[in-house]
Structure 1
Amino acid sequence: MSSTDRRETRSCVSCGINIAGTNAASFKCPDCGAQIYRCAKCRKQSNLYECPDCGFLGP
């Protein structure tokens, strides 16, 4: 298995697109600390997101 195969696929938590190689944001959930990824478009539009681990809703 190559390092590329082992790499976790990262997708925007709001719209689901693959964010590899994009201007995306990565931050920890304010409630549970899970890693969250958002694409630039969803951030700019202030689309809501939901933490996949705890259900926290954010702008």
Structure 2
Amino acid sequence: MSQSEQRRTRQCVSCGINISGISAATFDCPDCGHEISRCANCRKQSNLYECPDCGFTGP
């Protein structure tokens, strides 16, 4: 899968919507390193997220 295809298929771990654009964030889980993506709206509202691999939760 190309990098542009990966960007189109990212889902927010907080609300589940497909995300794209520059306001979305993708980062590694602080505990296990799994890639986590969050939409701009959930980031702005500081919604909690949970890592699907290890269960780590964060704001």
Deviation at 1:27, TM superposition (A): 0.3
2:20 maps to amino acid: A
2:58 maps to amino acid: G
Contact preservation (8 Å) 1:25, 1:38: yes
Query: How many residues were matched structurally?
Result: 55
Aligned residues: percent identity? 75
Structure exhibiting the larger radius of gyration computed from Cα positions: 1
Structure 1 unmatched ranges of 5 or more: none
The reply to whether residue 39 of structure 1 matches residue 43 of structure 2 is: no
Structure 2 unmatched ranges of 5 or more: none
**Aligned mates of 2:17, 2:24 — CA distance in 1:** 11
Q: CA RMSD in A?
A: 1.7
Deviation at 1:41, TM superposition (A): 0.3
Contact preservation (8 Å) 1:13, 1:38: yes
Contact preservation (8 Å) 1:26, 1:35: yes
Kindly provide the CA deviation profile for residues 7-28 of structure 1, in whole angstroms up to 9, marking residues without a partner as x. Answer: 3421000000000346200000
TM-score of the pair, normalised by structure 1: 0.82
Partner of 1:50: 50
